């Protein structure tokens, strides 16, 4: 296949009042025929966003906003393009733009289109139906800042057990209670 796809570096800049450094990031492969809505879903997958009941907004380098208009109930920022129909073909090599997920917690990302296009078969081994990450780095913070399943933001963290894997079923050799006959 030809080198026709975009390679887009997506770096998490800030969210929930925190600025991140070094910035965690992902490199996304995306066809120019994909929509901004598809890119948003892929970014949210790549950054472990599980509660998607939040607005999101791209801001292009020229200030043009892109977002799914049907979610705004007629109150989208002036000039907003519909992310469900706007294609990534409007992006140019080297262009930078922003993506913000959850306009309350403001998970802000800097997106940079690589100068060179890529072949998805070379990078991913497949030609996916939607944008897909193919490289990444850094720790991804939890969407709500939770560190364990019952974290309510007020309860102290559970104490780390002396043998942290002893409570697991012995499915893997290093899980479960240590056998005395070994």
Q: How far is CA 7 from CA 51, 56, 91, in A?
A: 26, 21, 11
Average pLDDT on 137-162 reads 92
Q: For residue 65, what are the domain limits?
A: 6-137
Q: Is residue 81 part of a domain?
A: yes
**Which CATH number characterizes residue 74's domain?**
3.10.290.30
- Interatomic CA distance for residues 113 and 12, integer angstroms: 15
Give percent of the chain above pLDDT 70.
Answer: 97
pLDDT class of 179 with cuts at 50, 70, 90: low
Tens digit of each residue's pLDDT (9 = 90 or more) over 5-44: 999 999 999 999 999 999 999 999 999 999 999 999 999 9
CB of 58 within 8 A of CB of 86? no
Is the pLDDT assigned to residue 93 strictly greater than 60?
yes
The pLDDT value recorded for residue 177 is: 86
For tokens 């929930």, name the residue: 16
Q: Is residue 143 part of a domain?
A: no
**Considering just the CA atoms, what is the radius of gyration of the chain in Å?**
20
User: What integer best gives the mean pLDDT of the chain?
Assistant: 94
Q: Is residue 165 part of a domain?
A: no
Tens digit of each residue's pLDDT (9 = 90 or more) over 109-125: 999 999 999 999 999 99
Is the pLDDT assigned to residue 139 strictly greater than 50?
yes
The pLDDT value recorded for residue 182 is: 45
Q: Is residue 39 part of a domain?
A: yes
Q: Is residue 179 part of a domain?
A: no
> What domain count does the chain have?
1
Q: Is residue 176 part of a domain?
A: no
pLDDT class of 178 with cuts at 50, 70, 90: confident
The pLDDT value recorded for residue 109 is: 99
Average pLDDT on 83-105 reads 97
Is the pLDDT assigned to residue 181 strictly greater than 50?
no
Q: Is residue 85 part of a domain?
A: yes
């Amino acid at each position: 296949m030809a080198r026709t796809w975009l390679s887009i570096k997506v770096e998490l800049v800030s969210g929930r009042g925190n600025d991140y450094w070094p910035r965690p990031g992902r490199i996304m492969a995306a066809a120019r025929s994909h929509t901004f809505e598809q890119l948003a879903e892929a970014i949210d997958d790549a950054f472990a966003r599980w509660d998607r009941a939040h607005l999101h907004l791209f801001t292009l380098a020229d200030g043009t906003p892109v977002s799914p208009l049907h979610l705004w109930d007629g109150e989208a920022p002036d000039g907003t393009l519909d992310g469900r129909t706007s294609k990534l073909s409007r992006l140019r090599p080297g262009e930078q733009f922003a993506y913000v997920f959850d306009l309350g917690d403001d998970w802000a990302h800097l997106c940079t289109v690589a100068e060179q296009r890529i072949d998805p078969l070379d990078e991913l081994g497949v030609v996916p139906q939607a944008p897909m990450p193919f490289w990444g780095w850094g720790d991804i913070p939890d969407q709500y800042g939770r560190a364990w399943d019952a974290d309510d933001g007020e309860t102290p963290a559970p104490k780390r057990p002396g043998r942290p894997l002893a409570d697991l079923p012995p499915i893997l050799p290093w899980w479960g209670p240590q056998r005395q006959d070994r």
